[in-house]
Structure 1
Amino acid sequence: MAGDIKIFAGQSGKTFATRICDYLGVQLGQSEVIQFSDGNLFVRIQETVRDKEVFLVQPIGLKPNDEFVEILFWLDAFKRASANSVTAVIPYFGYAKGDKKDEPRVSIRARVCAEAIELAGADRVVTMDLHSPQIQGFFKRPVDHLIASPILCAAFKRFAIENFVVVSPDPGFAKQARKYASQLGVSVAIGDKIRTGHDERASVLELIGDVAGKNALIVDDFSTSGGTLADIARMVREKGANRIFAALSHVLLDAKGVARIEDSPIELVIGTDTVINEHAQASAKFVTTSVAPLFAEALNRIHHSDSVSSLFDDIPEKVFAHAVLDAKVLS
């Protein structure tokens, strides 16, 4: 890559950004963050970025408020330091669930975040598996929306599971679940889920599709409490499924959520590293595959003004080769 590109990371993005840099063969930009005793954040760029193409890597994940505000401060700092362009690389866009006004007197949070990111100085955004793809329309600047399913499917294929069906936990994820099924060459079953409040609890009412005598792969974009995954896994088992697995684009579970998965019929959860989750990493039921190489390819193409959309249909083999992080195998 040319010398006028710079990749930096926020506090929560350093591991992911380092993997991007390792893939591209570049050095991570020098910077620091100081958090004062009152919780205020101070960010400083420790090298020149004048006339450079800057990429800032930071998820809005397990500490969404702090991580979001830090992104804004970094964008402002890069613009004030005369960077030529700044791309916000947000592997997980944490406020994407707030994508609509479906009850009185509530904020459309994803829209507020999008506008703030642009006003702070982002010229472009790169993210993965938004909870609602139409959130791209909240931005006036270009958004590159990457997809985790090819990487997750490749990881699942490593375990050579036969006679299985892809299961969507609810109708809202059915379209994406069909993409998984198409890539894996299997059928789909869909759970019917109802959520009545904002307490992260949902009830799975019914399962549409045949899972009897088959293995099951439950797929979803993310899980915060583990409740829906555990519930759909139990229903799938009640309907006659044999072995049960899950795949998540973003792993946001806390310790209680991980415990729910460990107590469920799910044998293994394959997740990505868009959010570095120590709770999941400590559990034998979780395997991580890296999507940092896919992001690296996207940044490389942006830098060279090449098509990013081609990554949806033709991912280079070296991306899959570099995606493997865990050596765990099924017994």
Structure 2
Amino acid sequence: MIGDDPMMVFAGSGSRQLTARICDYLHIPQGLNETLHFSDGNTFVRIQENVRGRRVYVVQSTVFPTNDNFVELLFWIDAFKRAGAESVTVVIPYFSYAKGDKKDEPRVSIRARVCADAIEVAGADRVVTMDLHAPQIQGFFHRPVDNLYALPTMCERIKALRLNNVVIVSPDVGFAKQARRYASCLGVSIAIADKERVAHDEKAEVLQIIGNVKDQTVVVVDDFLTSGGTLASVSEKLIEHGATEVYAAVTHGVLTGGSIERINRSPIRKLFITDTVENQPVQFSEKIEVISVAPLFAEAIKRIHNRESISEMFRY
């Protein structure tokens, strides 16, 4: 904190558990607020303590349910501004509409840009998120955006496994740059799965593996998964190419119906996800391990509050 300006961190209904962990890390009480959902589908939010002249932080992942949580986030921003908060920093651990970052076919919406505009119009002063699907989305905002990375936390967990002959695999060309950072952090090599997605059905065909994975322990890394179909297909292809074991580390576990069954049937020995997403409509199996990134978000909030550098957190 700075002088008499202690941090005030509030939870949206999409990130209550993560917010509690962030506040525990910071050794501060969680901000008092409530969200009510009425029978007609309306959402009502209320701040239950004084925030006038304060710099506040509201944590809300926009998923499960996506549209309800996004609209709730807008209401929170508006409520804090109308209550006289000096600034509102929006912490969006998982920004679901980040996938809609371009107009890649006729007559479609650039959904991420629409959401960015709405967040700004509501009154947000700063945005903090993690592993954006497309980093250029930061340019959709006219406010500062801090895109954090789960990489340090994931690499620490992977190192603890003490695996031999490790190769990092990117499930597609688009994630190759970030996969190289994983490989650099772990001091290992990289391979890439070449896949093709021809429709909006969350299914992709894995065409080939670029790089050597024979007799290697493979760790597939990615930013998010939903149906688990692509991850399962990639893992099967890796085994066909001679990989001895397959692990996976995915930041956002947006696990939907049927995903657990696909993962359980796949050769994946362990899937690591973070706690950026809550309220999944599925029951996790023993193959899935949740790793908390609350310390990363807490550290980022503390540094923003104390006007310190966030980039120093990711010198790897």
Q: TM-score range with shorter-chain normalisation?
A: over 0.9
Distance 1:281 1:250 in 2: 16
Distance 2:287 2:143 in 1: 39
Displacement after TM superposition at 1:49 (Å): 0.4
Displacement after TM superposition at 1:282 (Å): 2.7
Displacement after TM superposition at 1:277 (Å): 5.0
Q: Which residue of 1 aligns with 2:54?
A: 52
Q: Deviations over 1:173-214 (max 9, x none)?
A: 111111110111111110111001111111100110111111
User: Residue type of the partner of 1:248?
Assistant: V
Task: Answer whether contact 1:247 1:270 (CA < 8 A) is retained.
Answer: yes
User: Residue type of the partner of 1:211?
Assistant: V
Q: Give the alignment partner of residue 117 of structure 1, picking from 116, 119, 126.
A: 119
User: Residue type of the partner of 2:29?
Assistant: Q
Displacement after TM superposition at 1:255 (Å): 3.5
1:141 paired to 2:143: yes
Distance 1:165 1:62 in 2: 33
Q: Deviations over 1:17-52 (max 9, x none)?
A: 111100000011111111000111000000010001
Distance 1:53 1:131 in 2: 28
Consecutive unaligned residues in structure 2, runs of 5 or more: none
Q: Which residue of 2 aligns with 1:270?
A: 272
Displacement after TM superposition at 1:12 (Å): 1.2
User: Residue type of the partner of 1:221?
Assistant: D
Distance 1:282 1:241 in 2: 25
Q: Which TM-score applies when normalising by structure 2?
A: 0.97
Aligned CA RMSD, in angstroms, stands at 1.1
Q: Which residue of 1 aligns with 2:244?
A: 242
Task: Answer whether contact 1:281 1:287 (CA < 8 A) is retained.
Answer: no
Q: Deviations over 1:142-169 (max 9, x none)?
A: 0011011111010111111111111111
Q: Which residue of 2 aligns with 1:69?
A: 71
Secondary structure, aligned partner of 2:114:
helix
Distance 1:175 1:62 in 2: 29
Task: Answer whether contact 1:251 1:277 (CA < 8 A) is retained.
Answer: no
Q: Which residue of 2 aligns with 1:36?
A: 38
Task: Answer whether contact 2:255 2:280 (CA < 8 A) is retained.
Answer: no
Task: Answer whether contact 1:10 1:70 (CA < 8 A) is retained.
Answer: yes
User: Residue type of the partner of 1:68?
Assistant: F
Consecutive unaligned residues in structure 1, runs of 5 or more: 315-331
User: Residue type of the partner of 2:189?
Assistant: S
Q: Deviations over 1:277-307 (max 9, x none)?
A: 5566631001111111011001001001111
- RCO comparison, higher one (Cα < 8 Å, 6+): 2
Q: How many residues are treated as equivalent by the alignment?
A: 314
Identity %: 58
Distance 1:281 1:21 in 2: 26
Q: Which residue of 2 aligns with 1:319?
A: none
Q: Give the alignment partner of residue 172 of structure 1, picking from 151, 171, 174.
A: 174
